[in-house]
Each structure stands twice: as C-alpha cells, then as structure tokens.
Amino acid sequence: MRILIVEDEKELSGSMVKYLQQENYLCDTAFNFGEAMNKVETYEYDCILLDISLPDGNGLKVLEALKADRKTDGVIIISAKDSLDDKIAGLKLGADDYLPKPFHLSELSARIEAVIRRKSFQGSNALVINELNFDLLARVVMVNDQAVDLTRKEYDLLLYLASNKNRVISRNAIAEKISGESADVYDNFDFIYAHIKNLKKKLSAAGCEDYIESVYGIGYKFTIR
Amino acid sequence: MKLLKKTIRRYLVYSVILLLVEIPIFYVVVQQLVLQGVDRDLMATKELLKPKIGEAVVKNTLGQLQFADRNVSISITTVSRVYDSLASVEIFDSATGRNVPHRILTSSFSINGKPCVLQVKTSLLDNFSLIANIVKIQLALLVLLLLGLFLINRNLSKKIWGPFYHTLGRLQRYNIDQHEALSLEQSSVKEFNDLNRSLEGLARRAQDAYISEKAFTENASHEMQSPLAVLQSKLELLMQTTPLTAEQAQLIGELADAGRRMSRLNKSLVLLTKIENKQFANVEMVTLRPVVLSLLQQYDMQIREKSLDVTFKPGDDISLNADRALVEILAGNLLANAIRHNIPGGKIHITITGNRFRICNSGSETPLDEQKIFNRFVKGGNDNNSIGLGLAIANTICNIYHYKLQYSFVANMHCFTVISVFSE
C-alpha cells in the first residue's frame, strides 16, 4: 500500500511516515504544492493525505487536479483550519475524509485503513482478526460466528482498537473517538475505564480471547500475539 | 434631567421671580412718584392762594374766593397752630356715584392775626388710572420680553448643543467590534470640535488596541496548532517504543494529557475569535429540542459516569434564527458545565418555556459570582479539566445573537437561562 503525505510541517510529516511505516505502508512525502502535483501526476497512491494550507498553493487544487484526471486515489484532507467551509469544500471536491489538526496518529491510521478498504475493488466488507469478524457494512462483530451485542460506541471503540492492533492508543485518542465533539468541551475521561470494562466483559462472555490490554498511565493496546 | 431642561428651568424660575417682584415694586414706586408730584402741585397752589386769601381777607371777599374753586375751601378757626398736612382720602363723587381717591392738603396759618385753615384737594382718579395702564403695559412688555428671551434661548441652546447630542448618539451606537471609525460631525463651536477630536482619537486607539489584541489571539492560536500537532504525534510515536517502563508510560501519559489540554484551550480560543469575527454565518431556523436531545445522547456516558438524574421538560420549543453549529455549542457548553460542576448523584433540570431555555444543576452550595463567571479563564470548582472558556464562549454566542444569558441560584441549584427574542 502506497501513501503520499502532503504536509509542509516536516516534523509532523516525519511522525506520520514513521507511524504509518510501522503499519507496513510505503510512504512518499511532499512538502509543498509543486512537489505534491509532481508526485500525484507521476505515481498512483492508495491514499493521499492532503494538507490544505501549503506555502505555495492551496491543497484543494491538488484534489481538483486529481479529479480532473479521473484518478481514484483516496484522499484524506488534513487541515489546521478546522473550518466547516473547508470541510464542505473538500468533501464536495471528492475527498474521502477530513481530519482536523491536531489529530491522533492512531485515528489517522484507522481512517486511512477505512478509505483504502472502501476504495479497493476486491475489498471485502469484513475485517477478520482470529475469531473476531467485523461486518463493516452492518456494523456488527461476530465471535466464532456468533454476533456480539455491542452498543454503537462499543463497536466503534473495538474497531478503532483493532484497526491499530499492537499499537498503544492513548486514552485521549479513545475518548475523542467515542465521545466525538463533546470531548472538546467536556474533558473528563473517567468513563473510558468503565466503557472498556464493559466491552471486555461482553467479548469474553462471547468466548473471545482478551486482546485488549491496558497500558498503565497511557491507554490501551489491542495485542495479537 | 436633560441639559436643555436644566438651563431653561433656571430661566423660567428667574423670569417668574422677576415678574412677581418687579411689578408690585414698580407699582408702588410710580404711585409714590405721582403722589409726590400731586403734593408739590398742592403746595404750589397753596402758596399761590396765600397772598390772594390775604387780599380777600383785607377786602372781605373771602366768600367769593371760596366759590371760585370747588377744590379749595377756607375757614376761620380759633386754633392758632401753623401746620401743613397731606392725606389721601376717598371722597364720594355724586356725578359718577363712586368713591374717588383724592389728595387733600390741609394748611393752617394766620392772616392778619386771624388763624384760618386752607384745604386744597385734587382728584387722583386720572393719575391712578394712568398708573394702572402703565403697569399693564409694562407687564405685557415684560412677559413678551421674557417669552421671547426664553424661546430664543431654547432654540439657540438646541442649535448650540446639537453637535453634542449628535456626538452622544454616535457614541451610544458605536461598537468597537464593528471595524468602523467613529466619525463625528464638524461643529462651529471650538469646544465641541475639540471634544470630537479627542473622542475620535480615543476610539481609534481603543480600536487599534482591540484589533491588535484580537490579531494576537488569532495568530497565537493558529501558530500554536502546528507545534501542538507535532507534539502530539511525537508523543504517540514515543508510546510505541519498546521497551516502555511503567514510569515512562506514566510520564508520556501525563504529557499527552497536558498536550491535549493545550490543544483544547487552543481550539476554544480559535472558536472564540471565530465567533467574534462572525465567521458562523449559516443562519437558519434551528429548533432547540432536537439539539438538546442529541446533546443528551452525546453526553450520555459522562452523565451516567456521575450517576446524574437528568430531567428534560420541553414545554415549548424555541426556534432560533441562528447558525446551527453555534446553537449546538451554546447548549453543549451549558450542558457540559452542568455536568462538570455537578456532584455525583446530583441533578440536572432542563426546561424550555416560552423564549427561555434553562439548565439547572446541583453542585456547590454557594452561588457563583455573577460578575465573573462569564469572563474568560474563570474556573469554578475544583475540576482541573476545566479550561474556563465554556461559559465565555456561551456568552459570546448569546452576545452576537442578542440573547440574554443569565445566572441565578435557586433552591440550591445553579441555573443558566438563555432568553431569546422570538425570532420572527
């Protein structure tokens, strides 16, 4: 899987590359508009991470060029502006997703995975990890072919953890994932512990191995040995 | 009291006093003057008559003299005292059938050793009616004069103070965040021009300060976003390193929390400036009830975590003509506030009645300082996660839509009420 990271902040770009490489993605980087246009025209990517505000141009122009060439690369806009207008403009132009800065790398990784899965033609709508089987369309999880009765938030949480398997995910990232925008207003994440406990209880009752490991002081980790 | 009224009132009081005092004094003075004149005439007549009386006594024709003038009478007395006396008396006039004021000079003297009394009288009727007429004319003139002065003064004041009232009106309508200069009219009065110039300068300086402060907040928060993103991403990479000791993990976790707090703070500041810059302009009809219901769902976990008892009584529903995102932020911030400062097992009451949206929550047992709570970075309670911008943001949203945001402490509940004008 090949990913292009268009981001002028070199440090941030470096972090993304490092995290995504560990997920076995091939990463190219472009630090400005010209480079981005060059690479987009030359190669095909499974997913392009596109910063809107570049020193020498607007990232949305890259998106426009892509669509004009009828390329099917997946595009996730990453923007520091966090403005609804940018989001709407980007999605209208055909971006697959929008992620405001600052974001969690685990969140980015999960989104990339979702975009690539949607884009790939032979992509199944299932994600299988040992006895866990996600039906991504129906948003249902099966353990040994038995559906587990999870709430929507529990399902999202489990999928998020599973999408970042063997990575430590901070409790902040988890809280943001499951409480959405309210996490910005109400920043008390004590509820996460109870939430994870419930999820683990349901999974083990369904006969699933205990994959969710807590990392003291930081968060959680979905471990596959 | 209005400026004009104040000056005019002084004039009125002065005029009335002047009229009340001047007219009687004038009357008395004129009367005295007239009497003095009459008295002089009477004395002159007496002096004129005296030698004639002497002559008449010698010729023994006193009787004839007496009949010559009805106003002169003379009699011989036995009292040999020499005196002059003047008196005002009313004498009945048979011709008009009225009492007529007269001035009488009674003079006693002796002629050829015989004491005699001479009385000379003159009617004051003509004099008095003349005085009355003079006073009337005088009164009319005075009233006209004062009335004229009063009117001229009022109009002049109005004209002179016109630029002042204009300036005042402009100042009252002036809004520092409207990005327009305070332009005041030129006046022909130097003082007003000075005042206007000073005010314009003041407004310009205030606006400059306001703009640069806002620009600073904006720039600072925008520039902070990139390093924050870098910080957060590096921390996440650090989390993935192995081996990770418990001590390191703890430190990284705390760093991540601090970073998150910072980015939350930053987001809130950006949001505040965006609201103030009126960058939320997708105004539409937003009904409040569904917004609250979805918020309650969003905060479900936090509410359950604190085992709060939430009641939502949407008596009516308010339709707000506003940006949906802002309405959600407003209600969300108030709800988050009610959850954050609540006690475990506490209560939250949400009601919509008429044009009021109210959220009440249990919490600390002392009322909050109404003056301060809507200011930025005022933190209530001991929740370290509060960044002290929630209510400031709510208040800013209310301000731009001209809603009222009120705080009250009723029956041990902290209540925040948003009062909207009914959107048409």
pLDDT in tens, B131-151: 889 888 988 988 898 888 888
Does some domain include residue B359? yes
Tell me the C-alpha to C-alpha distance, in Å, between residue B165 and each of B4, B162, B180, B260, B267: 11, 5, 20, 53, 44
Same domain, B234 and B308: no
Calculate ∠ Cα A186-A188-A190, nearest 5°: 145
Phi first, then psi, for residue A44 (nearest 5°) are: -110, 135
A21–B contact, CB cutoff 8 A:
no
Written as one letter, the residue type at B407 is Y
Of B275, B304, B334, the position where a domain reaches its end is B275
- The count of domains in chain B is 3
Chain B residues close to A51, C-beta within 8 Å: none
Inter-chain CB proximity B250 and A216 less than 8 Å: yes
Does some domain include residue B104? yes
Instruction: Provide, rounded to the nearest whole percent, the portion of chain A with pLDDT above 70.
Output: 92
Please report the residues numbered 283 through 302 in chain B whose beta carbons come closer than 8 angstroms to any beta carbon of chain A.
295, 298-299, 301-302
A vs B, Cβ pairs < 8 A, gives 132
A24–B contact, CB cutoff 8 A:
no
pTM here?
A: 0.66
Give the per-residue pLDDT at B423.
45
Chain B residues close to A179, C-beta within 8 Å: 298, 301-302
Please give the DSSP secondary-structure letter assigned to residue B101.
Answer: E
CATH 1.10.10.10 in chain A: give the residue spans.
Answer: 126-222
- Nearest Cβ partner of B246 from A103, A190, A216? A216
- ipTM for the predicted complex comes to 0.86
Q: What is the token pair recorded at B10?
A: 């002084």
CATH 3.40.50.2300 in chain A: give the residue spans.
Answer: 2-119
Element (H, E) at B405: strand B404-410
Chain A residues close to B341, C-beta within 8 Å: none
- pLDDT range class, residue B311, cuts 50, 70, 90: very high
Does some domain include residue B59? yes
pLDDT in tens, A38-65: 999 999 899 999 998 888 888 889 999 9
- pLDDT range class, residue A29, cuts 50, 70, 90: very high
- Nearest Cβ partner of A172 from B234, B240, B260? B260
A55–B contact, CB cutoff 8 A:
no
Same domain, B19 and B135: yes
Containing domain of residue B113, as a range?
Answer: 3-145
CATH code of the domain covering residue B222: 1.10.287
- Nearest Cβ partner of A179 from B228, B256, B301? B301
Does some domain include residue B157? no
Tell me the C-alpha to C-alpha distance, in Å, between residue A141 and each of A144, A179, B60, B317, B377: 10, 20, 160, 39, 44
Give the per-residue pLDDT at B422.
53
Phi first, then psi, for residue B407 (nearest 5°) are: -115, 140
B319–A contact, CB cutoff 8 A:
no
Does some domain include residue B170? no
Give the mean pLDDT of B108-137: 83
Q: Which of A164, A174, A186 to mutate to test the interface with B (most CBs of B within 10 A)?
A: A186
Same domain, B65 and B138: yes
Inter-chain CB proximity B261 and A187 less than 8 Å: yes
A219–B contact, CB cutoff 8 A:
yes
Tell me the C-alpha to C-alpha distance, in Å, between residue B26 and each of B29, B31, B137, B145: 5, 8, 12, 17
Q: CATH code for A126-222?
A: 1.10.10.10
Same domain, B17 and B139: yes
Inter-chain CB proximity A187 and B244 less than 8 Å: no
B267–A contact, CB cutoff 8 A:
yes
Q: Which of A69-73, A215-219, B201-205, B349-353 has the lowest mean pLDDT?
A: A69-73
CATH superfamily of A2-119: Response regulator (3.40.50.2300)
A199–B contact, CB cutoff 8 A:
no
Same domain, B141 and B196: no
